[in-house]
Structure 1
Amino acid sequence: MESGLFILTCAALALLALALVLWMVLLGYRLVDNRQRARRVVMADEWLLKLLPVLEMETSVTSLPKVRGGNEMEAVLSLLRDLMERFRGQYRDQLREILVHIGGADFGLRLLRQRHVTSRLRGCALLGWTGESPAVNAALRLALQDEAKEVRMEAAYALALRGPTGLGVREVLESLEEKDALASDRLRDVVRMLAPGRSQELARLLPGAATPRLRVLLLDGLSAAGDLAHSDLIATQLQDAAPAVRAAAVLALERLGDPMQISRVGLLAQDPSPKVRLAAAHYLVSMGPDTEALQWLENLVLDENYEVKRQAVHGLAKVGGRAWQRLRDQPPEDSLVQALIREITSPLLPISTLEATA
């Protein structure tokens, strides 16, 4: 009995000692971490005073000192990231020159070679803002084959920011074939950024796109490319089996401002999907006082979906003319339509509100 009690006492003391050691280790870590954070804040403040004259082009980037050590590099990079987010593209060229001068590209390449996913993500994000470099472009294109989907996505975004010669939309899309990756807003932004000057490639990829989401991405890219020559190709997607693709095709035609597709888009006023009919209503409103567009809008006034109905009524009001006057003078026996007309004609409704809703 006494030996058992002795063993339990020893075990309890050992656990207590272990807990004490762990507490001391954690305390030491927190103290060191807090000290490093405080030091980085001081470094960032010091560097901000050095950077401001360079950003305002009062002094040359060569006047900046070299970064000494990893902690200082982390502090400077954190400061530059804050400046990029705060000032958007205002100081883009100066910030890139600063990154080159302090060795940001080399630091980013080292991060890209590390084992931890977080480090590789940070490396991609940093390299997207560094200056032109074949080595950086090659490293980021290699990162498109990374085992981690998040790294591939960040590498694609960094490449889109850099816009290196020879990078194709196909190369980016093939590296991110997972369903959840294709559905991300990040990839949509990548395609939009790559689109200018690549309309021919986007047009070649569209007919063979295997999934609705991929077709939506390519249609969005074609609209961002702004090449009206591909309107007929885009219009072929108005008959796609997927409602999301049909709606994306209508949106692309609206963004391109193509008036030659009014008849084909107008037929979608009878589409079974309210999302497609709403997209058609937006397109028809964007065509202004075109007679055929207004006729289709008048049909959509009686749509069973409230959002479509509202867009049609507000669209007619925005365009004005005989169609709107006819709707005001002879409204259908539809309480919602009548309420929308009263809403629009009310003197309390600002003109800006009317334009925004249409």
Structure 2
Amino acid sequence: MSSSVSALITNPHNIIKDYDNLLEIGKISDHISPDSETLIKLNLSWSLYYPACSTEPWQLDGVASALRSRGYHNLTATENRTVVTKIEKGVVGNKWSPVLQKYNIPFIPLTDVEWKPYQIHAETPALDEIFEGTHTLPSFFVGKNMIHLPTVKTHGHTTMTGAMKNAFGGLITERRHHCHRLIHEVLVDLLKIQKEIHQGIFAIMDGAVCGNGPGPRTMIPYEGNILLASHDQVAIDSISAKIMGFDPMQIPFIRMAHDEGLGCGDPDQIEILGDDISNLNFRFFTGKSPVVAGDQLFRKGKLSFLEPLVFKTSLFMLAVFGSAFYHDYLWYNLVGRRRIHSFSKTPWGRLFDQY
């Protein structure tokens, strides 16, 4: 199957209709059967709301509306926690609750489901090394369709984050922070697993508001006014990276997935359906927050010899506290709230306030 990415330029007035058109152009029914149970994997990068950080409410609204109108009756939304995020708080803070209620879509936290060992047929060397060959997955994932709802944003660990990274929060428990040392290799392993356990995979990425700089949290909001969708997880990440101003084939997880035949990472080989986005270049940069920089210092930097002590003993709780204090109390109050106030005056900010 050839690789294509659907793209539409959007605005706050037409966003719901544009999502419907996006899925029509992307022929989602050819890749995700309406007759099968379909999971919607949300993206929760922060329990608090911050523009482009997590799945936007209009993104969930537009996708849910488009799916319901196409006969997708068996839908379930899901997301996991991390050591520094709380699912219940995130569902409320990011205004997912009213949208899920509007379309009568149940939400199942991955903390409430059974995780079972799964025998993976593909070679997953990075995961094998990190978890010593024992792989547990949410049992209710197996055999179902998967739709990912990431946003267009940068990431201090992976340059950018998108469809492939969204599986990171679904297929690994809150212990997934141990994967940061081999993060690019892990994302490739996870795509292999997805191709084994899901009937179909589709990604719908919101770039109405994007995140630039030290992602995935402490970013600079940017009005990108772009929507992307694809059945090829590698291709949509490639096009998103290109729009942000990066060379996709220089991003390790995209290049490795492309080389292993898991999708197309070369933007010159990807067909763009919908609007012409060939001239888009947001000229983003990837920065590193003190938390990300510290994580990398102890996992694969000059202090990596301390990794077992810092991350595998009770001292890790100090790192968790430090991350929560820096993000939720220090940065959010000193910098984030000011940026959110400015964002609230934009058309997208006013749309968020309506939910």
Shorter-chain-normalised TM-score: which range?
A: under 0.3
Q: Whose radius of gyration is greater, 1 or 2?
A: 1
Larger relative contact order (Cα-Cα within 8 Å, sequence gap ≥ 6): 2
TM-score by length of 1: 0.23
- Give 1 or 2: higher strand fraction: 2
